[in-house]
Chain A
């Protein structure tokens, strides 16, 4: 099987301007949404309490909201996820010192509104001791179960945002230095610009759809940044090799040739990675949903930016044959003995 039966080099660079305009527009749109709608940060960044409850029947969200308001939460967010039985509560940080007791109080109130009373139980389940607070009515039927609680104090959030930013800076600087040493500064700058533009676009999507931006999403974005840089590296590698082999080609032709001869690999690799990511999207459940989402957008735009944007930028920067082929004698490409 061969998907890519390409007869001659595709003149990608002839349309470089159009591609750059498209990316500029997408970029501007992303920035626009980031400013106007802003990111919907997860509780890890903002502080506050998130709780997951499971009901045996479809939950009455309005009732839960009213209950939470009655115990002093001004703007509780109540939403179902997955099924109507699974409810996610999100309570903004409370100013009082007892921030860490919010979850147990909220559970108590929700339980009482269902007509049950919270009770500590200690069960032996398959030879393992499990201790939990259950909410049961007089007949002993479980009315609501607490699946998960996340409480984050406000002091943690700022630090996480800061260390996330540090990680991003380290990645950018590290990649630029590596590419500058391995190739040339024009390539390094082109690659990092192209891929940062991906990052902004992913963030733009998260802002536009108001998807939850959590730490795992941040990790996904950085991972995909590294992955897209790979892409540019593969193409730059080819450009260098073509410069070496084809002495008569112009710079544009060399770039076109390099992109054309790697396009097959680019698409197949991305498709394979995307298969894995789709699998996470389908089977991974809500915890991995946005992680897989960020990766999907990153992978799609990664192809685009490294193929069209990075190479085009390098071209605008005026990359030349002399930049890559140093007067120093390179390792001979041929194998074996040379006379």
Chain B
């Protein structure tokens, strides 16, 4: 009766194999590698870069073992692995020479680091090592708070300007526009004009919420942003800052940086291997600036590179819109751009829609009115160097909201929108948390965590085997399987392992043994009550299961509570704790039963005695006397 059908054994075997497979990447050694990223907004890391890196290395006589593209979007990086640190160093110099035309202003940043030697076939199966948290590998952690109030204020100012210009455009006469807090108050002389204004405004800007109010004899229209629009504004501000930060941090040349949004208005930045807080902060705090200027129309298009440059103009050769000769007078700076998003124009062609705030609308109207048919250049200034993402032709008089069309693909539109935004100071940020862990302390933490888990495990295993004999061995094996499953799951989920996470692994093991103790005690009890060995196994396991299930549910509630309300370190603890409960149910009940069945079940009634330690019966010793 204590036999599992073959499929159950197979299931156990497969689970153990998968566990071993997905845990394995954590044990491979590390090999020296190079990482190629970019700190420039205009440069992208793609598969072309991978090919270039491989080519350059071959040309220089230091071929890499493997060159691959990792990550995507802003976190994309090309990695090249080498046999020795010597080759790594040579390759670094070679790549820097080959990839960057200008050494003082490099397009690509080459950094050295170590990567795990996970074989390619394992990587293909997505068997990757766990990430180590900062407390284990050393590095800096920042928590930045985006000033949501400032973001909203800028947006409201922009709204105020838009309302003013729209009313003027449509010839609606008002008696003053004022801003108080997050509300724009427009005063009118009569109800008729107010109605007209409301119609005009609601048709022109979708995000507004309009309400009537009266102040003495004055009629007022209260303009506020819809809650959804408010939320979107803050969200855009945060996302925009994340994009900007990613680029800045790539410039630092950090391996595997983490830049994530936390909650509504916070950004977590983690830079492994970096210890210098001051420099990291300096770079994070900096933003690119954006300028809009008129293209010099005295220079014939196409001859920019050879023509004489007028005194009040400059030649720019970098970027999509280049080469172009541009006036030195600035029409607008990036501060005036409150948003830039990729959309479609009325012909369903990709376009970028731009919103200007404050005085921006008026400024651009004055200039564009007189320059219809001419070109205006958008300049991006990073580290003192200019690039020209675009130089569109002015089709008509522009206001505080306008579109750039004729861009090409929607991807180009997205990219341009991103470039336009990256110049804008979207939202001021404040450092509200800072954590630095030295690499030495990180290494100490790893060994402490490992040692506590290891010795705790050994102590429990030894005790179980002494106390429960063969059943103790099964319990220890089940516990080992539990570690395997837990590590495999964490690796599969690509969880970040922290010191509290390791503590949670240890605690999960300490708690998981409960299930086996319950089972073993039950089996003893059944034997004491006079059950046959096979019956004792069956009843022991089935009675214990109810209790194990109940008690794990309560632990699971704790795990979930910590998962929902915890942040940072507590979250890492909670993830492991919760997973540990799930794996322990599987391994303690299913896997250990599998081994028990394999050992005792197959022999059926021939089993005369179970090796579960002393089964003490109250009556017996007395009878012996």
Contacts known (A215-B570, A216-B570, A216-B573); A280 close to B503, Cβ less than 8 A: yes
Contact B562 A120 (CB under 8 A): no
A76 at the interface (CB under 8 A from B): no
B434 A103 Cβ-Cβ under 8 A: yes
Contact A145 B510 (CB under 8 A): no
Cβ of A322 within 8 Å of any chain B Cβ, yes or no, is no
Among the listed A128, A170, A287, which residue makes an inter-chain contact with B114, where contact means beta carbons less than 8 Å apart?
A128
Residue from the list A100, A149, A153, A167 in contact with B566, Cβ < 8 A: A167
The segment from A16-24, A29-37, A55-63, A230-238 that touches chain B is: A230-238
The DSSP consensus for interface residues of chain B is helix
User: Are B445 and A285 in contact, with the CB atoms below 8 A?
Assistant: yes
Chain A residues with a Cβ closer than 8 Å to the other chain, count: 86
Residues from chain A with a CB closer than 8 A to the CB of B539 are: 335
B613 near A2 (CB under 8 angstroms)?
A: yes
Q: Give the contacting residue for A149; candidates B113, B434, B514, B613; CB below 8 A.
A: B434
B562 close to A175 (CB less than 8 A): no
Given contacts A273-B514, A276-B507, A288-B499, contact A222 B274 (CB under 8 A): no
Enumerate A124-143 residues with CB–CB distance to B below 8 Å: 124-133
Residues of chain A lying within 8 A (CB to CB) of residue B138 = 130
Bound: A181/B331 CA distance, A: 70
Shortest CB distance B524–A (Å): 8
Q: Are A216 and B500 within 8 A (Cβ)?
A: yes
Binds B, one of A109-117, A201-209, A260-268: A260-268
- Cα-based distance from A23 to B517 in the complex (angstroms): 28
- Give B315 Cβ to nearest chain A Cβ, in Å: 37
A156 and B433 within 8 A (CB): yes
Contact call A5/B452, Cβ cutoff below 8 A = no
A130 with B439: in contact, given A149-B434, A287-B448 (CB under 8 Å)?
A: yes
B449's partner among A126, A127, A175, A284 (CB-CB below 8 A) is A284
| Residues of chain B at interface, number, CB under 8 A | 99
- Contact indicator B85/A230 (Cβ below 8 Å): no
Query: In the bound complex, what is the Cα–Cα distance between A223 and B559 (angstroms)?
Result: 8
- Please, how many angstroms separate the alpha-carbon atoms of A240 and B28 in the complex? 51
Q: Which of B204-212, B240-248, B275-283, B404-412 makes up part of the contact surface? A: B275-283
Q: Given the complex of chains A and B, what is the CA–CA distance between A288 and B500 in angstroms?
A: 8
Task: With A103-B277, A160-B567 as known contacts, state yes or no: A276 contacts B431, CB within 8 Å.
Answer: no
In chain B, positions 506-530 with a C-beta closer than 8 Å to chain A are 506-507, 509-511, 513-514, 517-518, 521, 525
In whole angstroms, how far apart are the Cα atoms of A65 and B242 in the complex?
39
User: Are A167 and B503 closer than 8 Å at their CB atoms?
Assistant: no
Binding-face segment, B290-298, B392-400, B545-553, B599-607: B545-553
Which chain A residues lie closer than 8 Å to B175 at the CB level?
none
Q: Say whether chain A's binding surface is mostly helix, strand, loop, or mixed.
A: helix
User: Does B53 lie at the interface of the complex (its beta carbon under 8 Å from any beta carbon of A)?
Assistant: no
A265 touches B521 (CB 8 A): yes
A227 contacts B511, CB within 8 Å? yes
Interface 0/1 of B360-371, CB less than 8 Å to A:
000000000000
Q: Is the CB of B113 within 8 A of A167?
A: no
Q: Which residues of B contact A218 (CB under 8 A)?
A: 570
Any A CB within 8 A of the CB of B195: no
Give A234 to B553 CA distance when docked, in angstroms. Answer: 12
The answer to whether B569 and A216 touch across the interface, beta carbons within 8 angstroms, is yes
Residue of A nearest to B519 (CB): A265
Query: Nearest chain A CB to B582's CB is how many angstroms away?
Result: 14
Do residues A219 and B500 form an inter-chain contact, with CB atoms below 8 A?
Answer: yes
> Which residues of B in the span 246-264 have a Cβ within 8 Å of any Cβ on A?
253, 255
Q: A126-B85, A127-B85 are contacts. A234–B547 as well, Cβ < 8 Å?
A: yes
Min C-beta distance of A337 to chain B, whole Å:
13
Chain A interface residues toward B at CB < 8 A: 1-2, 5-8, 52, 54, 99-100, 103-104, 120, 124-133, 145-153, 155-156, 160, 163-164, 166-168, 170-171, 174-175, 178-179, 182, 215-216, 218-219, 222-223, 225-227, 229-231, 233-234, 237, 261, 264-265, 268-269, 271-280, 282-285, 287-288, 291, 295, 335
Nearest first, the 6 closest Cβ-Cβ pairs linking A and B are A132-B275, A276-B510, A226-B558, A153-B432, A279-B456, A230-B551
- Ordered by A's residue number, 15 sampled pairs between the chains whose C-beta atoms are within 8 Å are A100-B432, A129-B253, A131-B273, A147-B437, A153-B430, A170-B561, A219-B500, A219-B566, A269-B518, A273-B507, A275-B460, A277-B456, A279-B506, A280-B506, A287-B135
